[in-house]
Structure 1
Amino acid sequence: MYVFKDEFRTGITQIDEEHAKLFEIADKAYETLMDEFIPDKYDYIVEIINELKEYAETHFRHEEEYMISIQYKRLFSQKAEHNDFIEKISAYDLSDVDENQKDTILELLDFLNDWLIHHILGSDKLIGQ
């Protein structure tokens, strides 16, 4: 379902590789949702949330370091978007996740879908230009 396509490439190898990894994590969330053989998905969802948060923090640090190195003019707006992403992922209440597993993973997928499309195509692609 979530595949990193050429249209998402920025032309910056490290950033593109890290974006591809974010797509892999989103796909893991989708596969978890669709797996009917896992009736209790709580542990899987928590693992995905934690992996996403940790990986995004690393990716954002790399991306921001690159933007500093090229004196990118939109650095501060990018940092604000990155901070919003981390805040959103960090805000998940694990007891709510346990009680509403399907709703949580659907909400997470909706958020990731919007983020991956709008942020990468609307903001990150500009870095490579």
Structure 2
Amino acid sequence: MLKWKKKYEVGIPIIDEQHKQLFKIIDRAYKLLRRHSTDKYDETLEILDELVAYSKMHFETEERIMKENNYPNFKEHKASHDKFLMEVEEIITKAIHDVDDNMLRKILNILVEWLIGHIYGNDKDMGITIRNMNKNL
């Protein structure tokens, strides 16, 4: 189970709201894992597709905000987004014909580890820097 905590906030409201939504999607996937159903394949793929699509939209939002505020670490931050999406899509492509609870758990663990690490590192730094540059946020 993955629950949003106040300590994850970066201080940019739209980004915090989108992070909360990512946590909700991942939590739904964990709940699916706990369900004792043998036919989770379609639901699993739907959640993974939703997670990738929402992540892309979220990254576009972050990148737009970084560009609008001339964030000095934009290139590095964007590169981490690009690498993450490439790795996740590669894992999902490999798993698409063999999605089971273990594979879903592996994908979710990678997502959670990356998301929390990214929020605590890159996003917190971005939030502090942009808030200091733009007092309107």
TM-score (norm 2): 0.87
- What is the distance in 2 between the residues matched to 1:16 and 1:101? 31
In the alignment, is the contact (CA less than 8 A) between 2:10 and 2:124 conserved in 1? Answer: yes
In the alignment, structure 1 segments of 5+ residues that lack a partner are none
Q: CA deviation at 1:110?
A: 0.9
- What is the distance in 2 between the residues matched to 1:89 and 1:26? 14
How is 1:1-129 mapped onto 2 (pairs within 5 angstroms)? 1-36=1-36, 38-91=37-90, 92-93=92-93, 96-129=95-128
TM-score (norm 1): 0.92
In the alignment, structure 2 segments of 5+ residues that lack a partner are 129-137
In the alignment, is the contact (CA less than 8 A) between 2:41 and 2:99 conserved in 1? Answer: no
Report the aligned-residue RMSD. Answer: 1.3
Q: Which moved more, 1:73-82 or 1:9-18?
A: 73-82
Partner amino acid for 2:4?
F
Match of 2:133 in 1: none
Report the count of equivalent residues: 127
Q: CA deviation at 1:27?
A: 0.3
- CA deviation profile, 1:18-75 (whole Å, cap 9, x unmatched): 0001101110110011111x21211111101110111111100000000011111111
Q: CA deviation at 1:106?
A: 1.0
- What is the distance in 2 between the residues matched to 1:56 and 1:86? 8
- What is the distance in 2 between the residues matched to 1:12 and 1:59? 13
- CA deviation profile, 1:74-110 (whole Å, cap 9, x unmatched): 111111111112112222126x344341121111111
Match of 2:135 in 1: none
